[in-house]
């Protein structure tokens, strides 16, 4: 069924189905790359699908996140980011907060974390192997690794992970009561505020301790910004990586030739992580809304100041104008400028951390468990529903 261009279609066009990409996105990208759609909350927005246009929206200051603050803008989730969130800001305010956190995520600092990530992966895998097959590798490995690392980096008790997983699940629901998402944000904020209070009586050298010092001794951010940064790092630092680890393992094991290729040549793992990041639709819908701040044109479509805009990175990463044979998985792709981690001022701060964790997971699996296989039929794997981030609820494997 084609998208009707003489009316405003509801978006997403269909509910997310496993890791399938709605074929209508390719049609829209080819025929109406800037399409008026109706989002689940708040009304209409322009959906942008071509790679070049998506990069423009993500980098051009005329597409503003800050302009959405305090407005009931069109959005795909029950609740958008908090007004004080780094996700809601434009430069220079965004740049000020980003600089406070960026030093914890430099390439050099991430490489220093690699031995720790390797130790955690090895320990988790040893436990899984000793327990014996079948095993749920999502529960045994994919979730504990990024949660453990972000908790150590931020200074959060890893024993509390079950609670903040519940909060982040409620924050990222695609439908439901916005009040429930608001309550989850308040509860998570109270949790972070309690950790901040603890740092003031018992200083630490973790990231949260450094941010408290920047607040109390350098006056470089407000108390609300301090709590908001803690919330953002905590849920962004584990939710996406944990789900993508499961998604990548599923893709490799459901398409055995790709797994065998990595077993035969583990040196391909870094390139494989980039290619899997490009092709795997992590988000079940478009990302955060931006507002146009002045009249402009995008791919021939006139946009007015105040219009809402959302981008489809999944469609952009399969744009044939940029990627040869974009629907194919190719671990030998020579040029792979995907935007799975975003682009522009809001490019994912933890991109290098996510890459390192995913590389460590896949490289260790192909080395230690080359016979790893799904313990159920691929179409029998259960997936999370009604959630912004795609992922398995469980991933049974054997070896």
253-284 confidence digits (pLDDT tens)? 999 999 999 999 999 999 999 999 999 999 98
Q: Is 1 a residue whose pLDDT tops 60? A: no
Strand pairing class (43-48; 308-311) = parallel
Give the whole-number percent of the chain exceeding pLDDT 70. 97
Q: What is the DSSP string of 261-297?
A: HHHH-GGGHHHHHHHHHHHS--BSS----EEESS-EE
Q: What is the pLDDT of residue 177?
A: 67
Q: What is the pLDDT of residue 3?
A: 63
88-99 confidence digits (pLDDT tens)? 999 999 998 898
A 10 A CB-CB count for 142 gives: 28
User: How far is 63 from 59, CA to CA, in rounded Å?
Assistant: 8
- 201 or 394: which leads in pLDDT: 394
Q: What is the DSSP string of 186-200?
A: HHHHHHHHHHHHHHH
| Phi, psi (degrees; rounded to nearest 5) at 139 | -75, -35
Q: What is the 3-state secondary structure (H, E, C) of 299-338?
A: CCEEECCCCEEEECHHHHCCCCCCCCCCCCCCCCCCCCCC
Res. 234 pLDDT band, cuts 50 70 90: confident
307-331 average pLDDT score: 97
Q: Is 162 a residue whose pLDDT tops 80? A: no
Cβ(324)–Cβ(80) under 8 Å? no
Q: Is 5 a residue whose pLDDT tops 70? A: no
4-13, 207-216, 267-276 — which one is most confidently predicted on average?
267-276
- 189 or 303: which leads in pLDDT: 303
């Amino acid at each position: 069924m084609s998208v009707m261009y003489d009316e405003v279609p509801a978006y997403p066009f269909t509910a997310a189905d496993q890791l399938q990409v709605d074929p209508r996105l390719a049609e829209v990208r080819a025929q109406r790359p800037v399409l008026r759609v109706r989002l689940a909350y708040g009304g209409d927005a322009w959906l942008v699908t071509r790679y070049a246009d998506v990069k423009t929206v993500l980098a051009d200051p005329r597409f503003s996140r800050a302009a959405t603050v305090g407005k009931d803008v069109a959005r795909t989730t029950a609740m958008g980011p908090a007004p004080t969130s780094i996700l809601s800001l434009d430069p220079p305010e965004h740049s000020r907060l980003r600089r406070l956190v960026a030093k914890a995520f430099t390439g050099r600092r991430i490489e220093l974390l690699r031995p720790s990530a390797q130790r955690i992966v090895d320990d988790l895998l040893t436990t899984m192997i000793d327990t014996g097959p079948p095993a749920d590798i999502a529960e045994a490995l994919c979730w504990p690794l990024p949660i453990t690392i972000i908790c150590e980096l931020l200074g959060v008790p890893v024993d509390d992970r079950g609670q903040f997983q519940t909060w982040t699940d409620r924050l990222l629901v695609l439908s439901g009561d916005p009040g429930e998402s608001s309550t989850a944000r308040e509860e998570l904020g109270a949790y972070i505020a309690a950790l901040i209070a603890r740092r003031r009586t018992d200083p630490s050298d973790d990231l949260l301790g450094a941010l408290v010092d920047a607040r109390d001794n350098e006056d470089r951010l407000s108390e609300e910004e301090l709590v908001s940064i803690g919330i953002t790092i905590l849920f962004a630092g584990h939710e996406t990586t944990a789900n993508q680890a499961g998604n990548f393992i599923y893709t490799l094991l459901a398409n055995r030739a790709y797994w065998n290729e990595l077993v035969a040549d583990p040196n391909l793992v870094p390139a494989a992580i980039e290619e899997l990041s490009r092709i795997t639709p992590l988000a079940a819908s478009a990302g955060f809304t931006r507002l146009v701040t002045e009249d402009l044109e995008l791919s021939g479509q006139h946009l007015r100041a105040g219009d809402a805009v959302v981008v489809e990175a999944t469609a952009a990463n399969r744009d044939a104008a940029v990627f040869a044979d974009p629907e194919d998985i190719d671990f030998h792709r020579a040029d792979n400028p995907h935007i799975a981690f975003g682009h522009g001022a809001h490019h994912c701060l933890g991109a290098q951390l996510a890459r390192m964790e995913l590389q460590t997971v896949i490289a260790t699996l192909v080395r230690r468990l080359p016979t790893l296989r799904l313990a159920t039929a691929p179409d029998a794997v259960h997936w999370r529903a009604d959630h912004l981030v795609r992922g398995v609820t469980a991933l049974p494997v054997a070896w």
